[in-house]
Structure 1
Amino acid sequence: MIHPLVLDPQGRLLDGRGRLKACEIASVEPAFLTYEGSDLGGYVLSVNLRRRNITKGQAAMIAAKARSDSEQGPRSDSEHTTRSVSEQTGISLGRISQSNTVLQHAADLVEAVIGGAMGLDEAYAIARENKAKANSAEVQLARLREEDPALADRVVEGDLTLAGAWAERTERVEEDKRQRRVATRLLDEVVPPLAQARGTRTFSRYDPAFASGTPITRETITHALTALAEMEQVWQERELP
């Protein structure tokens, strides 16, 4: 074989996909060498951009991936590298920016774009959807943390999906509403009539023989007084009239 296949230091193929496939078809053992230079991303870029009949989308994806592989510095350095790659290759910053979005939010489509199985525009549209979903999920998780920190922790720990956590949260809210509705109706039925009986002869006319349920005892009255005291305390805490 005239040209060996080139691997990076981790054993990943950098150059020679076509030759590797040809070797597999011909049942020939390929020769390999490991790239030992200092500019891995630059090497990948130069090798891939020499390929014939690649589209601007493929070239942009190759350039963006090469920039990502070689990126080491802070963000300002990254921006400079992107601009330099654009100037060196003639690929627009916009197309490289689209490729960066694919790298960040649809990494599984990168090789499909580079290989020509999928266009950059199609991959970019999917990446944008993924990005929007991720942002939406972050917002929903932040809101869940405000409303129910324990459920949010379970999502972060992987015990619950975000959708499952919100379903549980909704169920809890509805159950809380139901309990508040029942409690309010009960107190509305009991407390106002009791207050209206104050200062009247209602209590002196009470006859256990006519009780519709268990007759009222002094113990019942004691519990009722305790309940009213607790009710008064809650009303103060909630600053209700």
Structure 2
Amino acid sequence: MTALFPPLDEDELRALTDDIRERGLLHPIVLDPQGRLLDGRGRLRACEAASVEPAFVTYEGNDPSGYALSVNLRRRNISKGQAAMISAKARSGSEHPPGSDSEQTTRSVAEQTGLSLGRISQANTVLQHAADLVDPVINGAMGLDEAYALARENKAKANSAEVQLNRLREEDPELAERVVEGDLTLAGAWAERTERVEEDKRQRRVATRLLDELVPPLAQARGTRTFARYDPAFAGSGPITRETIAHAMTALTEMDQVWQERDLP
């Protein structure tokens, strides 16, 4: 737990070392029952530098992580943003990661650490949507407000991508699956989807024009002497045979079925 906190800088460590060398270790180093460090990482380093034998005590409560977090947050000279980020990161390694029982757990952490709900919520957002900024905030290289703004941008982009992926699943499940498997980027999938849509439009346009040229004249010939006047001698692309007529009748039957399925007039 103490590893979450930024280490003392050289001046702070030097001052603490001088103080311990002069007055001794005033606050023992606290370990959990398994001997893990809960509080006093800086004091331990200062004792080693001052050649002073450190004193240890064992924490006997039932919440060692909570104790370590609380005591270090209250003693350390860190900003509220750093404290909130440390709390969020500590909680992420517990059995209640960010996102579970969100409101209740956030309130609990705020009460334990004395931090505002807003700061805890901002830190959770950074942890979930800009994990690479967590350590810079903890170390003081970046403020929580700046990291939170970037995390919100990432969150918005992620939400937008999720919406686009869900829409792609509805329109073209095969492309969506390729995105999920990593074979295509989301942008690449939508580009291919656009090409498919345009190709489909082109094919529908060609089919529509073809049927417009063939079917209406055939319907208009019904009940006239057009069929009786047919003369193979004038056929431009070969004579129309009974087989051709049979195929045409089959095609018209298929066309009628499609029109019924699509509920076209």
Q: Which residue of structure 2 lines up, in the alignment, with residue 30 of structure 1?
A: none
| TM-score when normalising by structure 1 | 0.77
Match of 2:37 in 1: 35
TM-score of the pair, normalised by structure 2 = 0.71
Distance 1:140 1:14 in 2: 37
Aligned position for 2:145: 121
The structure 1 residue matched to 2:81, chosen from 57, 65, 77, is: 57
Give the corresponding residue for 1:47: 72
Shift of residue 56 of structure 1?
Answer: 2.3
Residue among 7, 11, 17 paired with 2:7: 17
Q: How many residue pairs end up in the alignment?
A: 219
TM-aligned CA distance change 1:84 to 1:230, over 3 Å: closer
The within-5 A match list for 1:228-239 is 228-239=252-263
**Higher mean C-alpha displacement, 78-87 vs 109-118:** 78-87
**Per the alignment, do residues 15 and 143 of structure 1 end up closer, same or farther by CA in structure 2, a change over 3 Å counting?**
closer
Query: For residues 15 and 86 of structure 1, do their structure 2 counterparts lie closer, same or farther at Cα, with a shift above 3 Å needed?
Result: closer
The Cα shift of 1:119 comes to 1.2
For 1:106, the equivalent position in structure 2 comes to 130
- Which segment is superposed worse, 170-179 or 39-48? 39-48
Deviations 1:108-131 (A, max 9, x none): 111011111111111111111111
Any unmatched runs of 5+ in structure 2? 14-34, 39-58
Structure 2 counterpart of 1:187, from 200, 204, 211: 211
CA distance in 2, matches of 1:66, 1:221: 80
C-alpha distance in 2, partners of 1:51/1:89? 12
1:169 counterpart residue number = 193
- The one-letter amino acid paired with 2:185 is T
Aligned to 1:155: 179
Q: Could you tell me whether the CA contact under 8 Å between 2:137 and 2:144 is conserved in 1? A: yes
Q: 2:242 aligns with which of 214, 218, 222?
A: 218
CA 96–72 in structure 1, closer or farther in 2 if over 3 Å, else same: closer
Give distance in 1, aligned partners of 2:248 and 2:137: 75
Q: Map Cα deviations across residues 120-145 of structure 1 (whole Å, 9 max, x no partner).
A: 11111111111112222222222222
Checking the alignment, whether the CA contact within 8 Å between 1:49 and 1:59 is kept in structure 2 is no
Task: Provide closer, same or farther for how the CA distance between residues 184 and 15 of structure 1 changes in structure 2, counting only shifts above 3 A.
Answer: closer
In percent, how many aligned pairs have the same letter?
74
For 1:113 and 1:195, the matched residues in 2 are separated by 77
Deviations 1:167-186 (A, max 9, x none): 22222222111111111110
Distance in 2 of aligned mates of 1:48 and 1:204: 101
Structure 1 residues 105 and 239, CA, compared in 2 at 3 Å: closer, same or farther? same
Which piece of structure 1 moves more, 179-188 or 158-167? 158-167
| Corresponding residue SS for 1:150 | helix
Partner of residue 264, structure 2? 240
Instruction: Provide the rounded CA distance (Å) in 1 between the counterparts of 2:213 and 2:105.
Output: 74
Contact 1:154 / 1:160 at 8 angstroms: preserved in 2?
A: yes
> Which range moved further: 110-119 or 55-64?
55-64
* CA pair 50-70 structure 1, distance change in 2 beyond 3 A: farther
Structure showing greater relative contact order (alpha-carbon pairs closer than 8 Å, 6 or more residues apart): 2
Counterparts of 2:218 and 2:108, CA distance in 1: 83
Structure 1 unpaired stretches of 5+: 1-7, 24-32
Deviation at 1:190, TM superposition (A): 0.3
User: How many angstroms apart in 2 are the aligned matches of 1:83 and 1:222?
Assistant: 78
Partner SS, residue 228 of structure 2: helix
Secondary structure (helix, strand or coil) at the match of 2:240 reads coil
Alpha-carbon distance between aligned partners in 2 of 1:162 and 1:127, rounded to the nearest angstrom: 21
Deviation at 1:193, TM superposition (A): 0.5
